[in-house]
Amino acid sequence: MLRIISGEFRRRLLHVPPDAETTRPYPDRVKESVFGLLRGHCEGATVFDGFSGPGTMGLEAVSRGAKRCVFVERERSVVELLHQNIEMLGCGDRCEVVAGDALGAGALARAPRPLTLAFLDPPYAMVREPMGFKRVMAQLQNLVDLLTPDGFAILRTPWPLKHTVWPEGFVPPEAGVEGRRAPSRKDRRGMVKRARRASREEEKGIMRPFNPGRGQRHDAAAWTTAGDEQGSPDEFESQLEAAERALREAGVVGPQPTLVDVDLALPRALGPETHVYHTMAVHLYARTPQ
């Protein structure tokens, strides 16, 4: 159950998805705390509510006196709930709904100018992944640049917020968007076979570019040498297994990742002023004085 806490629509209940994981709305106590920090900034404000869900923060701001709010939400079923909430409250003249990516250029173009308050509440999985976090912070900086001198941008993240960092040059087995998939044993067997075939063809005068395999980016020369020196692919695999077993028995482990704190600072913003609420945090930013 989601409700408006204060203002014109106080205690009114909002339509929410049946699955709480779909939108992960602000808990009432956290929402009340955030708007306590923003006391005096909602009256007559213009608001951007990115990843708005059913309108938790934007509609609270409208209830407290905001004159205009742009909501951006990509999930179609949630957009429909947001429209229902706006219609139920009868505040359609103050609300604009954008069905799209809150981190896209289109969403930024629809943001009010000047901008008093900007809420950005991306999925936790997005900010835990470095590339997704980079996109979020880039859009947050764009929003901060639009703020009035007394405006605030508010970002919510999980807490603590850390990123996994691997040793330089090491490709983790499950690199995902951060890197490349490390070669499996099957990949390596195929690479050895191709290397040996390329070597034989070269002896016969058949010249073809060496291809280590689809989706792989490894040193062709190194694999050619490995194939020539280690013998057949089966012998090569046996030596790999023996070497790995010897390392395990010796207590030697491979490169391990480390968790590092994420830098939440922005180049053209004051802050963040961070407020922690158990497993989440809310970060407030203001525009750098010009």
Please write the tens of the pLDDT for every residue from 183-208.
556 665 666 666 667 666 666 665 55
Spatial distance between the Cα atoms of 212 and 225, rounded to a whole number of angstroms: 13
pLDDT digits (tens, 9 = 90+) for 4-14: 999 999 999 99
Residues 216/219/224/227 CA torsion (nearest 10 deg) = -70
Q: Which domains does the chain have, with CATH numbers?
A: 2-162+262-287 (3.40.50.150), 167-249 (no CATH)
Question: What is the chain's Cα-based Rg?
Answer: 27
Q: Is 185 left (phi over 0), alpha (psi -120 to 50) or beta?
A: alpha
Tell me how crowded residue 50 is: count the other CB atoms within 10 A of its CB.
28
- Please report the pLDDT score of residue 221 as a whole number: 37
Q: How confident is the model at residue 226 (pLDDT cuts 50, 70, 90)?
A: very low
* Pairing outcome for strands 280-287 and 147-158: antiparallel
Q: Is the pLDDT of residue 43 over 80?
A: yes
Residue 224 has which token pair?
């050619």
Most confident of the ranges 74-78, 179-183, 257-261: 74-78
Geometric angle at alpha carbon 34, from 268 and 267, rounded to 5°: 10
Lookup: tokens for 258: 């480390």
pTM of the model: 0.71
Output the six-digit token pair for 73. 């939400």
pLDDT band at residue 157 under the 50/70/90 scheme: very high
Distance CA 84, CA 127 (A): 29
Residue 47 makes CB contacts below 8 A (sequence gap 6+) with 58, 61, 62, 66, 68, 69, 70, 112, 115, 116, 117, 118, 119
Say which residue, 208 or 92, is predicted with more confidence: 92
